[in-house]
Structure 1
Amino acid sequence: MSAPSHAPEAAEPVDSEPGATASGRSDADNRSLRQIAWQRLRRDKVAMVSGLVVVLLILAAIFAPFLVKLFGHPPTQFHQDLIDPSRRVPYLDPENPDAGIDRWGGISSDHLLGVEPTTGRDLFSRILHGAQISLLVAFLATLVCVALGTLLGIIAGYMGGWVDTVISRAMDIFLAFPLMLFAIALVGVIPEGVLGLSGNGLRIGVIVFIIGFFNWPYIARIVRGQTLALREREFVEAAKSLGASNRHILFKEILPNLVTPIIVYSTLLIPTNILFEAALSFLGVGINPPTPSWGKMLSEAVPFYQTAPYFIIFPGLAIFITVLAFNLFGDGLRDAFDPRTSD
């Protein structure tokens, strides 16, 4: 980039553009990429609202035990006195069993979202604790996926040759792998007490490993393509001419320029992982009961969709809102960092 020209002191500009600086450049030209992206993101109301929803969901999951103490009941506590034993759904009036059943599950100030059929467990508490499982699995799996994909993608793109060929063929193999069938088979047959883990801790670890380890090719392809373009840039050539090692060039020169696409792709990968965990729990090979899980709650709600529709609506809405918020926020980030987007 050429240095800014300096005009003589006596020759001051007559018609200067609004916002122009003394060097003749506008304020917009002096903004960093992060400042430009933040201003674009602030103008995107949908992305900002979605980001706020994402933050609230994360806070609700973190402080779920505190919120349950304030507004609900323990997620594993049964309230059989609220359930009609013959129909297995909540009474319309627990004080008067002859009044019939409540199709909306006894929603009240004591049970904000009603209670589950059969068990009478508080639905509000179970949805909050289910958010902990879904977000924990999604974030950890995304972290594993991004770490593997970034490392292998940047190596393949920079090294080229046989290294690129081997990693690219590995991507093709992993992309063709029947992930859902493999996850069902592995989670269903894994023994207890592996690596000191057991119960749901072991299941969460296995699910995180499966999602993260077998989904890395998606982000690796993005990182590889970006690296192929960056390795030809002047700053990389300058680092080579100064004798910088490949490790320095990869992690000090190229990787910082890949942060933006990695962040954007991560926000779009998280909702996919949430759906994957919910699908496994729905099929009965995810989190073991009585630990709450959105997918398991949907599975248990299927027999009651006619007599107690609320039981399938609320967990479904939790999944829908969470996935939609992450997707819209990810779309907003992608547009904000896209250099082709007009200010």
Structure 2
Amino acid sequence: MIAAIESVAQPEIARQPLDEHRASERGFWRRFTQNRLALVALGVILILTLAAIFGPRLYGVDPNRQHYNAINAWPSQAHPLGTDSLGRDTLARILLGLRVSLLVAFYVEFINIGLGASFGLLAGYFGGWIDQVLSRLADMLFAFPGLLLAILVAAVFGQPVTERFGGIGRLLLVAGSLALVSWPLMARYVRGQTLSIKERDFIEAARSVGVTNSRIITRHILPNVAGLIIVSATLDVAAVVVNESVLSLLGLGIQPPDPSIGQMIRQSIDYLERNWSQVFFPSLALTLMVLTFSFAGDGLRDALDPQSRGS
């Protein structure tokens, strides 16, 4: 008899948070589509992503080919955005640099979500020693300035990793060094949200009828923190793009001949007076990436939590 009651109660308990989640999701998309700036930013992000994926092949110009008759050239029909100090086509290098920057951001957010969100869910739900370990580890990492720690890791391991694994190893090292200082923040956000959700009535009801902890986390808590994870990851992309550019500006990021936006800015600063377009176009691409991800993240945050709008 008790088993029969539990078998009926469990679907009812599972349906309650899912119905609430669907209603919240409809309201979320309605609020987001009303934010024109966020929609435009999302459209620009899509264009930048497509340009990074397909642009280098469609444009068809080797980003490392040197045109000796067009060194430090201004924009022209042959080179729409000009060339750099070695005669390399600026547009071709920007397209490939976009790909590199977005790849780094993708790897960083993959680590943040996989590591940070998982730790946050476990620490928030179970508490105890898991929460203590996460809190102490996060405090230890937060004790250092984030970018300084990433610079230290890239400086110490950059050369050995590049010599052994080449360009892809360097890219993964840059992504790993940036993820090292950003995943605890994701974990802290998810932990706080999980602490709030696990005290709600439908979680207590699920426990009372014997729903397992793993099922509660995956079916009831995770859908309710997914929006927060997406918003945090989107906003963090802007910071990752800037920090990757800073590493490249310091010579600790992606190494030549592979281009990155920050590296292009660094190499063209010496020629600013001779041809300012060499700095302008990579800087414009960097600014566009940072602003669009920031606006899209703000729009997602406002749609997820209307009370945060304007705060």
Query: TM-score under structure 2 normalisation?
Result: 0.87
1:185 Cα deviation from its structure 2 partner? 3.4
* 1:192/1:202 contact within 8 Å kept: no
Do the aligned residues in 1 keep the contact of 2:124 with 2:191 (CA within 8 Å)? yes
**Structure 1 residues 196 and 248, CA gap change in structure 2 (3 angstroms):** farther
1:119-158 equivalences in 2 (<5 Å): 119-158=86-125
CA contact (8 A) 1:137 1:207 kept: yes
Higher relative contact order (Cα pairs below 8 Å, separated by 6+ residues): 2
Report the structure number with the largest CA radius of gyration. Answer: 1
Instruction: Check the 8 A contact 1:187/1:286 in 2, yes or no.
Output: yes
Residue among 27, 42, 47 paired with 1:36: 27
Q: 1:197 and 1:234 mapped to 2: Cα distance?
A: 54
Name the counterpart of 2:77.
Answer: 109
The residue aligned with 1:281 is 248
What is the Cα deviation at residue 288 of structure 1? Answer: 1.2
Contact persistence 1:175–1:215 (CA under 8 A): no
SS of aligned partner of 2:275: coil
**Residues 199 and 288, structure 1, Cα contact 8 Å, conserved in 2:** no
Quote the offset at 1:162 in angstroms.
Answer: 3.3
Look up the equivalent residue of 1:165 and give its one-letter code: Q
Count of paired positions: 290
2:228 pairs with 251, 254, 261, which one? 261
For 1:301 and 1:193, the matched residues in 2 are separated by 27
SS class of match (1:80): coil
Measured in 2, the distance between the counterparts of 1:123 and 1:179 equals 31
1:79 counterpart (54, 57, 67): 67
Q: Give the counterpart of 1:300 among 240, 263, 267.
A: 267
* 1:134–1:236 distance in 2 versus 1, CA, 3 Å: same
d(CA) in 1 for partners of 2:88, 2:231: 38
Which SS does the other structure have where 2:183 is aligned? helix
User: 1:228 aligns to what?
Assistant: 195
Tell me how far apart the structure 1 counterparts of residues 158 and 306 of structure 2 sit (CA, whole Å). Answer: 50
Query: Can you list the C-alpha shifts for 1:91-126, whole angstroms capped at 9, x where unaligned?
Result: xxxxxxxxxxxxxx2x11211101112x11100000
Question: 1:223-242 deviations in whole A, cap 9, x for unaligned?
Answer: 11111111111121122112
Calculate percent identity across the aligned residue pairs.
Answer: 40
Output aligned runs, 1:84-233, within 5 Å.
89-90=72-73, 105=74, 107-117=75-85, 119-190=86-157, 198-233=165-200
In the alignment, structure 1 segments of 5+ residues that lack a partner are 1-28, 84-88, 91-104
CA deviations over 1:60-81 (Å, ceiling 9, x no partner): 0010222322xxx210010111
The alignment's C-alpha RMSD in Å is 2.3
CA contact (8 A) 1:184 1:280 kept: yes
Aligned-partner Cα distance in 1 for 2:35–2:133: 41
Match for residue 54 of structure 1 among 38, 45, 50: 45
Letter in 1 for 2:39: M
Greater percentage in helix: 2
Alpha-carbon distance change, 150 to 191 in structure 1, aligned in 2, over 3 angstroms: closer
Go from structure 1 to structure 2 and tell me whether the alpha carbon gap of 1:186 and 1:170 turns closer, same or farther (over 3 Å shift): closer
CA–CA distance in structure 2, aligned partners of residues 214 and 132 of structure 1: 22
- Residue by residue over 1:5-59, the C-alpha shift from the partner in whole angstroms, topping out at 9 and shown as x without a partner, is xxxxxxxxxxxxxxxxxxxxxxxx9x82222222211211111110000000000
Q: Is the contact between residue 232 and residue 297 of structure 2 (CA under 8 Å) also seen in structure 1?
A: yes
